[in-house]
Chains A and B, each alone.
Chain A
Amino acid sequence: EADIYQTPRYLVIGTGKKITLECSQTMGHDKMYWYQQDPGMELHLIHYSYGVNSTEKGDLSSESTVSRIRTEHFPLTLESARPSHTSQYLCASSDGVRVINSPLHFGNGTRLTVT
C-alpha cells in the first residue's frame, strides 16, 4: 500500500522538452527528497526539502528544479530535457522533524528516457 505516489511511472520524451515529475505523499511528512538512480543502481540525492517553501540542492549537481508549495507535493521539473537526464527518479519522504533519523518512504519511481 503506497503512501507516496509518483507519476508517471514511465516517460519517453524528446530532447528539449520541458517535463515535470510528480510526487505526492499522504503521510503529512515534512521532509521530502528526490534521488536519481543510475543504471548501475547507485542512488544520488539531487534535491530535498525540510518543509513548505524549503528546498535544497543535494549532493549530485542536477539541472532540475523543485518546489514545495504544499506539504504533500514535491514536483521536480526539467526545463529542457537532454539524453544525459535519462535515469530513474525516486521520490521519498520522512517524518524527520518529529523523529530524528526516521526511515525514508519511497515511491515506485519514474523511469525517464530522453531521446
Chain B
Amino acid sequence: GDSVTQMEGPVTLSEEAFLTINCTYTATGYPSLFWYVQYPGEGLQLLLKATKADDKGSNKGFEATYRKETTSFHLEKGSVQVSDSAVYFCARYTGFQKLVFGTGTRLLVSP
C-alpha cells in the first residue's frame, strides 16, 4: 500500500553538524511529500513539502528533494542547532487522500 519509511533514531549530533534523515516512499503514483516537525509537548508543524518530481522543498535551513528515480525525500540541513532537537516525520498522501506518516525520527543536538 501507500507508505513512507524513514530511518530509525535517535540521531545524535553536535551543534553545527550536517544532518540527513532518510525517507523513502512506495512508488504508487506521484504523491505530494511532506516533512513535519514535532517539538516537545507540541503538535506537528509543516516543515516543508514538494508536490512533484525534482521539486525541492526548503524552510529554516532544511531542504528535501523529491527524487522519483530513488523514490526518496531525504531531509538535510547543513548546520544543525540545539533548537532543532525534535521529532521529524516524513509523510505522503495515499490514493484515498489520507496523509500517512513515517514512524518518526528523533533528533538530539548537543552544544
Q: Which one, B43, B49, B51, B103, contacts A42 given CB within 8 A?
A: B103
Q: What bracket does the count of chain B residues touching chain A fall in?
A: 20 to 34
Q: What bracket does the count of chain A residues touching chain B fall in?
A: 20 to 34
A103 touches B49 (CB 8 A): yes
CB neighbours (8 Å) of A43 from chain B are: 44, 89, 101, 104
CB neighbours (8 Å) of A109 from chain B are: 42-43
A41 touches B87 (CB 8 A): yes
A106 touches B45 (CB 8 A): yes
Closest to B99 in A: A104
- Indicate whether B70 reaches chain A with its CB closer than 8 angstroms: no
A-B pair number, CB within 8 angstroms: 51
B106 touches A90 (CB 8 A): no
Closest to B44 in A: A106
B43 touches A107 (CB 8 A): yes
Cα distance A96–B97 in the bound complex, in angstroms: 9
CB neighbours (8 Å) of B31 from chain A are: 101
Closest to B43 in A: A106
Task: Find residues 72-115 in chain A having any chain B CB closer than 8 Å to their own CB.
Answer: 90, 92, 94, 96, 100-101, 103-109
B44 touches A101 (CB 8 A): no
- Indicate whether A34 reaches chain B with its CB closer than 8 angstroms: no
Closest 8 CB pairs of A and B: A106-B43, A101-B32, A41-B104, A106-B44, A103-B46, A43-B101, A108-B43, A42-B103
Binding site for B on A (CB under 8 A): 6, 33, 40-43, 45, 48, 58-59, 90, 92, 94, 96, 100-101, 103-109
List 29 interface pairs A-B (beta carbons < 8 Å), by A numbering: A6-B43, A33-B99, A40-B103, A41-B38, A41-B87, A41-B103, A41-B106, A43-B104, A45-B98, A45-B99, A45-B100, A48-B98, A58-B98, A59-B100, A90-B43, A90-B44, A96-B97, A100-B97, A101-B31, A101-B51, A101-B93, A101-B97, A103-B49, A104-B99, A105-B46, A106-B36, A106-B43, A106-B44, A108-B42
